[in-house]
Amino acid sequence: MSRPSPSRSIRKELILLLVLALANAFALRAGAAEGEGCGPFETPYAALDLAAADAQPEGGIAPSTAGESRAGEADGPIVGLPAASGPAERGPVAGEALLALPKRADGTLPLDFELGAGVRVSDSYWSPVLCATVALLVGPPGASLAEMVPRVPAGATVASHDRYTTAGVSLRPASALPAQPATVSAPDSYRPMQWGLDRLGAETAWTSSQGAGVRVALLDSAPESAHRDLAGVEVAGVAGGPAAAPATHGTLMAGVVGAVARNGFGIAGVAPAATVVAVPVCRPAGASASDECRLYDVLRGVDRAWELGAHIVNLSLVGPANPLLERGMARLDQLGALVVAAAGNEGTSDPRYPAAYPSVIGVGAIDPDGAPFERGNRGPSAELLAPGVEVLSTVPGNAFAFGDGTSLAAAHVSGALAVLLGASADPAASRTALFQAADEARPPGSPASSPPPAPPLCRALEKLKRGRC
């Protein structure tokens, strides 16, 4: 009796995994699985070589040192961050690929695919956002996508298993950092150093909304949820995903969005009453803020955020275009979630993803003088500009640190949207109001002595008819 071919045997293994995944899908949100937009992928399969994207860009945040602590014993210290041991690895994961089999209109999955020699299914799951079963394939390190999946069903797609990264740390001399005010009388000890809140007009907006009732999902490395200024931050991991051990980058993001306000300690978040849910999708590379975020984990994080009812999804990570990531971002937009992403820190106008997708709000950074961050990306990845230089936020160890980068700018925008959504309960209107407010600057040719325009959050609330400046 002849043995079955290796590809057929592997195919049977995948079919079993698909059946298990579909069985689990009944417990997921039916609205996403059955919602508009499910069906074949519009992006056709292309035989892309894994070696073609050998040097993908990195981006995100570049935290900087603040030298010695200038705080008293009762407060968390402002600390310096260690230099990165090296950039996170770039390019697709060699010898790995993702196969997505979308649900057809009749509820079935296309199973007429073929795996190449030596290729196996490492893991698979049902994605309610993608409306597809996604399988992680592992094969020979030098194999192309066409060699890993020689036959792809109509409507399905195979994609490289791309890496997305936050950025390494860039240390800054203590002499170049903003000095702590000699007298601190704010309800939060370091509030006077949070110029970003002043630029947004956050505290004026808080009279209308502090983001209560809004859930913000941070797809990032895990924050230190035990930090005194991050009380209430939830960590919702994915089984088999990155560990929930506290990391620098995720802790910085959580502080910008949701640090507790007026608790007599540290800083205040842009939307202190919002519910911040951290979904770890990135693996820290050492003690710095240089994290690696693999696409399979990011996609599972997207589903986790949706299952948890996130209204806003923040992705302060940067990498290449990918049809599965594009589909996930478009579906979140169709389902009513607001998606915000960092533009990256390479000083380029070339598009970076997911920020450059039309369904995503891509964010670049400005400094305290309103000038664009010199290393921040521009062009299609940066639709909005927000505070991202000399930003003070939380880091592990119940401490604080200054950071530069578009990751911090994206977190400011996510917090601002949470404030607006808390006032209006209308995601589309909140997004439109923020964009309109950001477009309104001092008219060209107006004298310098003329009063500056009201802060963006204040103007946006007026457009939503939810507050007055």
- Please identify every residue annotated as catalytic: 220, 249, 407
Give CA–CA dist 97/90, Å, rounded: 15
78, β-bridge pairs: 400
Of 342, 343, 335, nearest in space to 303 by CA: 335
**One-letter amino acid of 323:** P
Strand order of the β-sheet with 283-284 is: 163-165, 291-294, 283-284
Give CA–CA dist 125/116, Å, rounded: 21
Per-residue b or e along 151-181, where b marks 16 or more CB atoms closer than 10 Å to that residue's CB: ebbebbbbbbbbbbbbbbbbebeeeebeebe
Q: What is the DSSP letter of 348?
A: -
Give CA–CA dist 411/417, Å, rounded: 10
Cβ atoms of 130 and 327 closer than 8 Å: yes
Give CA–CA dist 140/127, Å, rounded: 26
Of 424, 310, 438, 465, nearest in space to 370 by CA: 438
CA-to-CA dists, residue 71 to 66, 173, 230, 240, 248, angstroms: 12, 18, 19, 39, 20
> Residues, the chain, total?
469
Of 409, 166, 192, nearest in space to 289 by CA: 166
Give CA–CA dist 238/304, Å, rounded: 7
Compute and round to an integer the Cα radius of gyration of the chain.
23
275, β-bridge pairs: 215
**One-letter amino acid of 156:** A
Q: Which residues contact 103 (CB under 8 A, 6 or more apart)?
A: 33, 38, 39, 109, 131, 132
Of 162, 277, 272, 260, nearest in space to 219 by CA: 277
284, β-bridge pairs: 291
